[in-house]
Structure 1
Amino acid sequence: MSEPSPHLQADSVWELVCRRAAATPGALLVVDERRRRMTFAEFRDSVERVAAGLAARGVGRGTVVSWQLPSWIETIVLFAALSRLGAVQNPLIMMLREPEVEFICRQAGSRLLIVPESFRRFEHGAMAHSLAARLPGLEVLTTGAGLPEADPAALPPEPQGPEARWLFYTSGTTAAAKGAKHTDEGLLAAARTFCTAIEPTPDDRIAALAPLAHVGGVLHVLAALMAGSALIINDVFEPAASAELLRDEGVTLGGSGVPFLQGFLREQRARPRERLFPSMRAFLIGGAPRHESLHYETRDRLGGAGISSGYGLTECPFLSWGRPDDGDHEHATADGQPGPETRVRIVRADGTRADAGEIGELWVRAPQLTVGYVDSGLDKAAFDAEGFFRTGDLASLDGRGYLTITGRLKDVIIRNMENVSAREVEDHLLAVPGLADATVIGLPDPDTGERVCAVVVPVDPASPPELGEICAHLRARGLNTRRLPVQLEILAELPRNAMGKVVKTALRERFLESAGRA
C-alpha cells in the first residue's frame, strides 16, 4: 500500500485536470462497464481535443450548453472540455423528457443541446430536434459519431474569473425544478469536503454509480482528480452485472446511494460463502432515509466500516460527510460533520437558534453554496440577510458537531392539528420484516385534515402485509399511536428519481386519482 499523496489544490476545474495529469500521468482515472480505461494524461489530452472541436462549433466563454448524456467516459471528457472553454454548462439527468428539458433549456438560455441519438429505447435525438424547432437559437449535437475533436494548438487561454459556469437543476421531487448556479471554486470546495472526510488515496477505487449529470457525479470526478483515485462507472445499474464490475476492479469505496446498496446486499445474500467486495473499506451513501440496521448489515455482509453517509443538496452539495473511522453509532444514524469553512444553523420555527440535539430547519453558509438561482426571483426567499441558505430540511446538530437529517420541512403530515414527521414513521417502517421498500405520504382526509398513508413494496408479492400487521410492528417499536398509518398501499416498486429519492408527488397524485375514481 503506497503512502497517501496530498490532495491537489486548484482554482478551476481545468487547472485541476492539468495538475493531476502532471503529477500522476499514467495512473488510472476511470474504468467503465465495457472495461474501457483512461489515465489522467489521456484524459487531459482528450479534453483538449474535444475543447478544440467544440470551439470550432462556436462554443466559448459564456456559451450556455445543456447536455443530457449517460455516465460514459465521454461525458467526463465533455464537461471538462466545456470547463476549459469557460462555457456555462447545464447537465441534465437522463430521466428528463421533453417538457422538462424544454423548460430548462428555455429558462437557461441554452444555445447548444448535446444528447445521444438514443439510449435505453428513448430517442433523445428526435426530442432534441423537436425542441430546437421551438426554441430560437438552440442547436443540437448528437454523439452518435463521438464528440467533435480538433487540433488544440489554436485554443485560446483558459478564461479566468469566479463566474457561474454550472447550472444544476433540482430533482423536483416535491416542486418544480429550480436551477442553481455554481462556480468552479464552489464545486472544488465541495470536493474538498469529500476528500477531507473520506481521505481517498491513489490506491482507492471509487464506485461512482450516481448519474454523472448530477452534481454528485461531477464531484466524484473532481475528488478523484484531487486525490489521484480511480473511478468505476457504468451507464445502467444492474445489481449482478454492476457487482461483478466493482468486484473485478477491486472497489474500495462503494456508492452511491441506498438503492445501489440494497441491490448489492441482495447479491451478497445470494452468495453467502463469498465476499463480493473483499477490498471494501466503506460504502458511501446519501440522499435518502435509512434505518440504522442498514449500517450493521452493510458492515457485516459487505465489509469495511459499513456505511459512511453524506448530506448535500443541489444548492449546497457535499455539505457534510462521515468519516470511515467514525464509530458505529455515527455511521448508523448521522450524516457526518460539516466540511471546512461550512457554517450551519439549526433554526426553530420562531427563528431562534435550536439547542444541541434539537430538531429544526437547517440553514447553511459555505464555499460550495449556490451563488443564486437561474430565476433570481427565488433568491430573496431562499437566503437570509447574512447569506445563510434555508435548506427546507429538518436536522439536528449534536454537541460533537455531527449532523443528522430528520426529514423535510414540507414533508410533515398535519393530522388532527398535530405534526407527524413522515421521516420518523419511515424510519420505523423500514425496519418492519417482510418489506423490501417503504415510504409515507400524507393524503387529504375530511375528518383529520390529512391521514398517514404507508406505501410499501413487499419482499414476497404473493404475500403482501396487512395494515394491522404493520401497525402492530410499529407499535412494538414504540411509535406513537397518533402517528400510525391508517391507509396502506402495495406497489411492485416505488417511483424514484435518478438519485434514488422517492418521488412523493407521483405517489400523491396516483392515490388521489384512485380515491377520486373510487
Structure 2
Amino acid sequence: MHTSFWAEIAARADATPKAEMMADDRGRRMTYGEYRTAAEKFAAHLAERGVREGTVVTWQLPTWIESVVVVGALARLGAVQNPVMPIYRERELAFVTGQAGSRLLIVPPVWRGFDYPEMAAAVAARTEGLDVMVLSGDLPDGDPALLPPPPAVPQSREQAPVRWYFYTSGTTADPKGARHTDATVLAAGIGMSDRIGCVPGDRVGLVFPFAHIGGCTTWLASSVVHGVAMILTEAFDPVATVELLRRERVTLAGAGTVFHQTYLAAQRRDPGTPLFPDVRCFPGGAAPKPPGLHAEVKKELGGAGIVAGWGLTEAPILTMAGPEDPDEALAAAEGRPNCGVRLRVVGPDGREVPPGGEGELRAKGPQVMLGYLDASLDAEAFDEDGWFRTGDLGRIDEGGNVYITGRLKDVIIRKGETISAKEIEDLLSAHPAVAEVAVVGLPDAATGERACAVVVASDPAAPPTLDALGEFLRGQGLMVQKLPERLEVVGVLPRNPAGKVLKKELKERYA
C-alpha cells in the first residue's frame, strides 16, 4: 500500500542510497541517499520558519534539483503542497494563495526575464499571513536532529490526509484547486510506471515544468518507487535539451507531441547517427497525436515508439499504453485503464452507451481527487453515483484501448496546459473596442491548439488589433501563454435560437 511520499523516499534511500536519482543541465547529480539528507536539512529550516504538518505552502519554481528537494522537505513535514506553474502571474497567483490559505510562498529570483520576488511581494501584500521565501543558490538548512517525527503512514488510501492542492484552469474563469493525497498521486505515478515497465536503470527526460502534476508527483513517484533516474532541464530548448538527453542516455524520452516532433526534427538533421541509442519508448499525453507520428517516431528514433496516456489534474494518468501494445493502438489510442481504474462511456441522456460507442468518459480510480477546494464545484464534477465527469468525449474498443474524440468542456489545450475560454472572454469584454467576443481553440501542429479571439468591434471602422488585445490582457495580469494567438473580426457572432454562441461553427470556419 503506497500512501506516504516520505515513506517511499525513505525506503528508496535505504534500499539504494548510492544510486543516481537525478542529473541536471548544469552537470549536477544527486543520489537517493543525498536526496533524503538534503530534504531533511531543508525541512529543518522550514520547521524553524513555522512550517508544520498541515501548513499550506505554495511553491512556484523551475525544474531544478532544488525544486525536487523542496517537495521532499515538505513531504517530511507533512505540509500541504501547492505547486504553481512558473507561467502563473499575479492575477492567478493571488487567487490561488488566497483560496488555498497559503502561509508560505516559495519563488525563484528573477528567472527568464521575469521578477518573481516582485510579484510575490505584491501578492503577499494583499494576502494576510503569507510569508515569502526566495530561493537563490544553495538551499538554507537546519539541524535534522531537531525535526519532529515523520507524519504517520496511513494504513489505507481512505485514511490518507490531503497533502496536495493542484490548480487547473478548467472551464471556470478562476483556477480550480483539486485536493489530492499522497495516495492518489502515488497511484497515478505507479500505475503509469507499471504499464511502461519502469525498472532501475531507466532514465526519464523531465522536459516539462516540474510543478505540473505529471512532474512533481507522477515521475517523482516513479523515481522513488521504481528507481527511475530523472534528467532535469529547467526550460526546454530544442537544441540544448536534446543534447542533454542524448548525453545522459535517456531511455524514456517524453513527454508529448511537441517534444516528440522536436526529437524527430533533430534526428532528421543527422539521420545516420541514432539520436537516443538507449531509448525504450517515448511517453506522451496531454495533447492529441497527429496521424502517423507514432510510426515515424518508431521507425526513425527507435524503441517502441510513442506510449501515450490520458488523464486530468483531477484524475492523473487514468490510462497508459505499454511498449508491448500493438502499433495500431499506440498510433491512435491513449492507452488502457491503469490498475484500479474503471471507466464508463455516457451518452447525453446520462445512460451508458453500448460498447464501442462515443460519449463522455467518466472515471473511478485510486488517483481521482477527493474534490475541489471550492466544494460547490463538486456537484458538477461528480455524478450521482460518484463517477468523475472528465468532460472528455471518447470511446473504448474491445481491447480496452481508450480513444479521445473531443471535449465537452469549453477549454483550449495549449502544450498540455488547460486554458479557460471564459476567462479570456470575460477580460476582453471589458476592452472598449470589443462589443462581443468568443474565444475558441483551433488546431495547431506545434502546440495542440491555439486560442483564437473572434470579436465584434464596437466601432467597425476601428477594430482592435491582436497586439492591442494582447497588451490589454497582459495589463490585466494574464499569463502570456493564455493570450490569443489569432484574431478574427466579424460583424456578428453566430448564435442558436436560445442566444448561445455557436462555437463549433466558429471552429469549423477558422480551423
TM-score when scaled to structure 1?
Answer: 0.80
Pair 1:241–1:374, CA change in 2 (3 A): same
CA distance in 2, matches of 1:156, 1:126: 33
CA distance in 2, matches of 1:73, 1:412: 32
- The letter of the residue matching 2:376 is G
Please tell me whether residue 43 in structure 1 is matched to residue 35 in structure 2.
Answer: yes
Please tell me whether residue 82 in structure 1 is matched to residue 78 in structure 2.
Answer: no
CA apart distance, 1:265: 1.4
Describe the superposition over 1:141-164 as per-residue Cα deviations: whole angstroms up to 9, x where unpaired. Answer: 001243221110111112235111
CA distance in 2, matches of 1:254, 1:371: 31
- The letter of the residue matching 1:29 is M
The equivalent residue for 1:507 is: 484
Pair 1:507–1:127, CA change in 2 (3 A): closer
| Unmatched segments (≥5 aa) in structure 1 | 1-8, 414-421, 431-435, 447-488, 490-502
Pair 1:385–1:90, CA change in 2 (3 A): same
Please tell me whether residue 115 in structure 1 is matched to residue 107 in structure 2.
Answer: yes
The equivalent residue for 1:269 is: 268
- The letter of the residue matching 1:198 is I
Aligned length: 437
8 Å contact kept, 2:5–2:75: yes
CA apart distance, 1:136: 1.2
CA apart distance, 1:243: 0.9
8 Å contact kept, 2:451–2:483: no
Pair 1:505–1:249, CA change in 2 (3 A): closer
CA distance in 2, matches of 1:320, 1:112: 34
8 Å contact kept, 2:455–2:487: no
Find the partner of 2:59 among 59, 67, 79: 67
8 Å contact kept, 1:173–1:504: no
The equivalent residue for 1:34 is: 26
**Residue 239 of structure 2 aligns to a residue in which SS?**
helix
CA distance in 2, matches of 1:404, 1:97: 34
Describe the superposition over 1:103-139 as per-residue Cα deviations: whole angstroms up to 9, x where unpaired. Answer: 1111111110000111101010111111111111110
Please tell me whether residue 201 in structure 1 is matched to residue 178 in structure 2.
Answer: no
Please tell me whether residue 158 in structure 1 is matched to residue 150 in structure 2.
Answer: yes
Describe the superposition over 1:254-287 as per-residue Cα deviations: whole angstroms up to 9, x where unpaired. Answer: 1111111111111111112211101111001100
- Map 1:274-289 to 2 at 5 A: 274-289=273-288
What is the root-mean-square deviation of aligned Cα atoms in Å?
Answer: 2.5
CA apart distance, 1:174: 7.4
CA distance in 1, matches of 2:136, 2:481: 35
TM-score when scaled to structure 2?
Answer: 0.81
The equivalent residue for 2:498 is: none
**Residue 319 of structure 2 aligns to a residue in which SS?**
strand
8 Å contact kept, 1:210–1:257: no
8 Å contact kept, 1:335–1:405: yes
**Residue 361 of structure 2 aligns to a residue in which SS?**
strand
CA apart distance, 1:410: 3.1
**Residue 484 of structure 2 aligns to a residue in which SS?**
helix
Pair 1:290–1:275, CA change in 2 (3 A): same
CA distance in 2, matches of 1:127, 1:120: 14
CA apart distance, 1:439: 4.3
| Unmatched segments (≥5 aa) in structure 2 | 155-159, 413-439, 457-465, 467-479, 493-511
Describe the superposition over 1:44-89 as per-residue Cα deviations: whole angstroms up to 9, x where unpaired. Answer: 1111111111001100111110000000011011011101111111
8 Å contact kept, 1:308–1:321: yes
Describe the superposition over 1:189-217 as per-residue Cα deviations: whole angstroms up to 9, x where unpaired. Answer: 11121122011111211111121101000
8 Å contact kept, 2:87–2:481: no
Between the two proteins, what is the percent identity of the paired residues? 46
Find the partner of 2:184 among 162, 170, 186: 186
Pair 1:30–1:440, CA change in 2 (3 A): closer
8 Å contact kept, 2:51–2:77: yes
CA distance in 1, matches of 2:294, 2:90: 39
CA distance in 2, matches of 1:370, 1:391: 12
8 Å contact kept, 2:43–2:74: yes
**Residue 31 of structure 1 aligns to a residue in which SS?**
strand
CA apart distance, 1:173: 7.7
The equivalent residue for 1:471 is: none
**Residue 136 of structure 2 aligns to a residue in which SS?**
coil
CA distance in 1, matches of 2:111, 2:9: 29
- Map 1:130-141 to 2 at 5 A: 130-141=122-133
